[in-house]
Structure 1
């Protein structure tokens, strides 16, 4: 059985230590801040990035670079590997299409090359959890085709929901109207958002107040986990530079589920540019989104 590598993009929000340990190939998404383009080796820390947003400096984002995609895949093919790429939701970025085009070109130019691209229809560590599962299956000796088939069948069971602290950034990204953002902020409305089966970001209700919104995330998770509630799968918490709220959410999850297998990371700039400082979410396995 031919060895295969697993690749993804920087929007998967995997911990750097995990990426290094499991040798995950990363294709960068980019963002522009104050006329400087960041990505790959040119990065701001999460705190630097979110502090700039708090100061009113707004970033713009760009999808993955087709030339970098081709180079990445070509290098793995040259080394004799098959490639399984798990992409950020195609409903939210053109990056998935760029990867599919690049993979097809490399396969056409290299006889015997095999590159499978999966649209995760997911974001952040929801996408990251798909990669974790792929890595675990590879370590169990599964082939690239077996792993890809399992993911395609089960990818809608990787769930993401989150809330934001400031409606302005959702308005800026076209997710809510200006009037909704203004009125909602005045009366402390906090939206609950989910990634749906089409990989789109959609509303799943509102709450009043920050702590209530965090508790609602956990309640919603419990109501959709079904059989997975008893399987002790990893649960992930992602946040836009709000460690105190992330710790509160982690403790709430532990209290409800009595598990310690919780991964916490910051939301990457390419996503955080749209969700803003203070965004926070839960990623988990559920019977439905």
Structure 2
């Protein structure tokens, strides 16, 4: 997937020409259309969240991996039964991705990248850290996203070039400039992740424990990323596969004024082996720590 650049606004037009005026008009119309799409996306994730909230509460311990996988799938399908028709109705021609992705570009056109129950294991264990997410990707660029937290009722949104918000209130990353005063976070490797990745995560946590104020480790990644966008966490990094399911949080951080790169400071793509999302004031120090 192509680079998620720092600025996601419209570019490439020369002021004063007829073509520029036409292009600017088209851009304005597209922005208005995307804003309407975002409103519909919010309604979809909130409706799906209501279904998952009704299924939340009792903690059931599963005796086998098969039982656990069946329970996870049941949650996914319950939410997807609400999400699919609503999102397909919003954009009938868009493709559909509802699995965690490895790297790589999507085919041309528009795609819904959806996680119907992000943090699904937390949901089954009676923990509050889970969400419903939907992101529209156009020509391999995320253009809008909605992340709904059913237990708090909050919905985080971002529109490319239009900022990031929670329930209509603007989000802004922190102004922290000292990594030694920063609260940072990471997630863990999946059960099937390579041992080398798991060990790299462990060494990066050790490095951050030496340099940062507080280090948090939990899943899912999107909840850390929306906290970066809201200024509550100063940096988040991940080595456990920089997959396209990171797009919702990445767009939120970019639109809230944060910086996105890989852990070595290079431009991030979903082919990257890592992701770093940080407030601008601590980004370079976080890169230095993670590169040791």
Query: Relative to total residues, which structure has the larger helix share, 1 or 2?
Result: 1
- TM-score w.r.t. the length of structure 1 is 0.28
Structure 2 length as normaliser, TM-score?
0.28
